[in-house]
Every structure is written in C-alpha cells, then in structure tokens.
Chains A and B, each alone.
Chain A
C-alpha cells in the first residue's frame, strides 16, 4: 500500500470543503466565510487494497500567508510542516464564476513541482447564465487535467476518484509570470482565461437582494428583524428543551438515588456525577440552536453583509465588522462566541474581541438575574407602563454589552495598539444553505463543546461535590430532608471556605452564605440558583414560601443589587476560560480576562452597595 497523500487546495469560498465531503464522505463544514476551515480535516479514499489520504487545507490566495491558517497550508505545500507530510498530489479547486483569482493561485501552485488536478465548481451556474467554460482548451493551455464537478450534487466525483487512483495528475510546467506580484499573476490568469471562460449574465437575484439588504434603511430593518429572530429563538425555543433536559435528569437522579444504598456513594452519583452531566447537557439546546442559526446566516451569505453593515459602529470601539459575529453569539454562550472569533484575520482585533465576549450577557446569567430581580426589585410599574423588573433586566443586558465593548476599546488602545485595520470582505452570492452542511456543523460543534467544555464542567462539578458534601455529618432523624441537607452544607468544607473568604466580599455586603453561593457559581453561573436553594433550604421548608420570597426577607435590597452588579461583570465560567485558553494558546489570556472582570465586578458591587 503506497502512502499517497492528496491535498485539496483552493482560494476561500469556492466549494472546497463541499468537494472534500463528497469525495471522502468524511463530514466537515463548508462556509460562506473566507477561511472557515481551521484545523485541516483528513479523510481517506479506498479502492481495493489502495488507500489514499486526503487533506482539506485552509484556503489560500497565494504562497504568501496573511494568517496562521494560510501559513499552515503553505508550510504543508512546501513540505516544511512538522506533522503533516508534503502532498504527493494537489487537487486544486477553482470556481468557474470567479476564475481570475483562482487561476492566479494556479500560477503559484505550478511552481511547487507537485502533480496537480484542477477541479472546477460552479460550471453549471456559469453555463446556466449563458456563460462559457471550455475545459478542453483550458486543459491544453495549462497541461493538467481539468474536471468540472457539481459538488453539492456529487456529480463528477466518480471521475475525480478514478483520476486520483489512476495517477492522472500531471506536474505542470512552472508558470513564469514575469515577476512574483499578485498583479502579474492576475494578468497571466486573464490571458489564460481569454475566450475560454466567459461569464454570462450577472446573478440578478443577488443584486436585487443586496439592494434591500445593504441599503441603509432596508438593511437596518432586515438587520433588526434577523437579530430579533435570533434572540427569540435562543431564549424562547431553547427553554422547553432545557426544561425537558432538567426533567429528564431529575428522573435519572431519582432512579439512581433509589438504587444506591450507601449514603456517600448515592450523594456522589446523584449530586456529583449526574448533576455534573446535567449541567453540561442543559447548555446543549442553546449551543445547538445558536450554531444552527450562525451556520444558516453564514451559508446563505448574510453574515458577510451584516459585518459590512456594522463595521462602522464597531469601529467606534476599535473593532471591525467581523467582531460582531463572536459578540452576538456570546449573548447565548461565550463558548461558541469565542470559537467563532477565528474568522477575524487581524490578531489584535481577534484578541480584543475574545476578551470582550465574557461580558456579553450569556444565557447562564439569566436564571441568576431572574431569581435576584424577582427577589429584590419591587414589582411596580414605572413611567411609560414598563415594569421596573423588566427595565432592570434590559439594563443589565445593555450594561454587559457596553462594558464588553469598552474593555475591547481600552485593550485596543493599550495592549493591542496598532494602526486601524482596513476591512475587506467578499460578498458571496446568496445561496440556500445545505441541510447536510448545517447538520455536520451542528454535530461538529456539539462534539467540540462536550469534549472541551464538558470535561472541565464535569471535573469542576465533582470538585464542588467534594467541597459541599464532605465531611459527612450524622443526619438527625427528626429533621426534614431539606434541613438535613442544610446541616450537611453548614458543616462542609465549602462552608469553611465561604466563611474564610467572606471578609473579602464583606465590603460588597455579602454574608458567608451569599459568598458560598457566589463561589459555587464558578463552576457555572446558574449553579447560584440551586446553591441558594440548598443554602436557604431550612428557611424555605419552614415558611413554605418560594425561594424568591425567602430571599426577599433575608437579603436587603442593596445587597441584592450588589450581587446583580457582581454577576453582570464577573467571569464565573470555567468552560469559557478553558475555550479561551485553547483559542489563544495560553492561560495568560483567560487569567487576564478573569482579573479584569473580577475587578470590574468588585468595584461595581461596592459602588452599588454603598450608593443604595
């Protein structure tokens, strides 16, 4: 069996990943956004005893890199990458509707001395609009095989497979364009393509839609509508699913509790393990919905336009149009938000954006806000018929967004100082997104979340169990179950910790019980709600009132507002920090984000506590 390696190479946005999926059957996404492929995906092709390795490399425009992704591709092609072998064959994917930039890359690739096959996508679209794509003449001019395919329909894949297995690839004559400039390559491409590739009529649907979508008035309306739908789906549609997962986990832990006799083992399985798994699963509906929405917006071509529309507004905070996508996603959860920051090519802009994401009001803050607002903010109507509680809630969202953008601005003026980065983006034609691609993305991102964030959450949840459930106390048979739980918590390591740490939080008006609740949120913010439920269990049991009424009695208004201020700013999410570390390559950045947000949270709480 020969170790034959094939690299799929092309400029961004030509259907490279779709071709790779169709060819190898391995699942990977295709995006309308340039540079969406970050880690190279590897697939294999088998024909009897012969096996070929196919690598999908990030898109490039030439052999000079502008980003890390591009550097990877170039290193692999030059054979200097430490882990990925130099390919034996290049499958160069070109798009018939954007031929000049694609064949500009061909001139560069031809100098590598690697056998090539050129695969042309969008030939059907060009011909449908009355254009010409003469693959035979092109083959004679370039000297390598040219295969037209329709990636989304799988047409031409058999021919490509046959060509790869029969070693049909040909090493082209190195193209000499005179000088090594983009200009010279473009000029060469034009002569090569002359009379061979002719565009037909313009894509009138895209032009017509852009007249509305990119128009200042119509664009703003469409933008608002898309955003409204976005938030509606994340919050309203995810809720029943999240409730369902909670209910399911309750059944599972109930069953487990009955099956396990030993008190300590039961507590570990029910609260540590099942509780931990539950807190991972409960995130999934929002993460899946968010990813599906972002993928749809991206694939249909809207995200590039949205980035264009908000570029000016983001510029006020030192960011650029592309920063908008990660920040928007962070309203559901900072984890997918940080992951999507990869689309920002400028390192400084990307880092400033990542540092701002934890301050966007994520969905995990919502249960905390809901509990505290209903406990401490009077349910009165203020001027204009608005409920004061709703106004406080909306205010916290605005506060989060503004403070995040201000953090980005300050960082761009200090640590990530540099010249204003120009913005450039190619508008892809509008397309109907492929269901397959959406499904693949969903599976990919979900798996990514479970492996990266899930393991951290589970570990933290077990650590939290050790802190709150050990050392064991002897239950007093005369006490109710809730009172026993509270007695257990009162004597746990966590209570000791809460009492030890409490002096730090005393200026914010937190007693040791609130301190304990806040500390427990460092696993995941919404843990605060269940922790408060446990901490105040006895009071709830005695008065038979809901938790929020108990808190209303126990927590002064100014302390309640102080806790709200703390949660609005603090980065209390170990999974966000884990993802930040992975995306930035160093624990330095999550540590810095943690520090900045802690100081902001502390100062804000202190001010709120002392003003009210």
Chain B
C-alpha cells in the first residue's frame, strides 16, 4: 500500500515509490539519494512531529516532509 513516509512507524523498511511537491525540494532529496526504487528504513522520529531519520543504502538523512515535499513509500 502506498502511503506517506511520515505515516509509517519507526523501524519500517520501505521502498520509495514517488516524490511529489515543489521540484526544488524533491530534486534535492533525490540528489541526497532518496530516489524512487531505493529501499529505506525509518530509524527514528524526533518527538512532537519533528523530522525523521531515514537510513538509505549507505547514508543517513534527517528529513521533515511538508506539503511541498511528499515522499510516497510502499512498505
């Protein structure tokens, strides 16, 4: 089932399906390695709706998606 990255619980391994929103933001996240097709794992979430830490193949990113950056994933 395709859903937004931030809606998944910590520890979920998922595959990036698509990125939508402002092209500058989606491009930057993709340049940091989060391209459709890659597998990622939500390592932790900062409290009170703060950013997520996501592990990609080799790197770790801190990401706070907004309406301008919607990351759809498939668990």
Chain A residues with CB under 8 Å of chain B are 11, 61-62, 64, 66, 97-101, 104, 182-183, 186-187, 199, 206, 210, 214-216, 304-305, 307-309, 311-312, 315, 320-321, 419-427
Contact = CB atoms under 8 A, between A and B. Distances in A.
Contacts of A183: 30, 35-37
Interface of B: 21-22, 24-25, 27-33, 35-38, 43-44, 46-51, 53, 57-69
Contacts of B22: 419
B50 A311 contact: yes
B50 A64 contact: no
A302 to B, nearest CB: 13
12 contacts: A62-B31, A66-B27, A66-B28, A100-B33, A182-B31, A183-B35, A307-B62, A311-B50, A311-B62, A420-B68, A424-B28, A427-B53
A100 B31 contact: no
Contacts of B35: 182-183, 186-187
B64 A422 contact: yes
A311 B46 contact: yes
Contact of B68 (A66, A422, A427): A422
A427 B27 CA distance: 18
A424 B29 contact: yes
Nearest to A182: B30
B60 A216 contact: no
B8 to A, nearest CB: 17
A206 B61 CA distance: 13
Contact of A312 (B36, B44, B46, B58): B46
Most buried by A among B29, B43, B50: B50
Contacts of A62: 27, 31
A426 B28 contact: no
Most buried by A among B21, B32, B47, B60: B60
A301 to B, nearest CB: 10
A43 B35 CA distance: 36
A423 B68 contact: no
Contacts of B66: 419-422
B69 A422 contact: yes
A99 B57 CA distance: 11
B62 A304 contact: yes
Contacts of B64: 311, 320, 422-424
A423 B66 CA distance: 8
B60 A210 contact: yes
A315 B50 CA distance: 9
Contacts of B24: 66
Contact of B48 (A312, A422, A423): A312
B47 A424 contact: no
A421 B33 CA distance: 19
B31 A104 contact: yes
A321 B58 contact: no
A188 B67 CA distance: 29
B14 to A, nearest CB: 17
B65 A309 contact: no
Contacts of A182: 27, 30-31, 35
Given A216-B46, A321-B51, A419-B66, A425 B33 contact: no
Contacts of A206: 60
A546 to B, nearest CB: 49
Nearest to B71: A422
Given A182-B31, A312-B48, A199 B57 contact: yes
A574 to B, nearest CB: 37
Given A421-B66, A423-B62, A424-B64, A312 B50 contact: yes
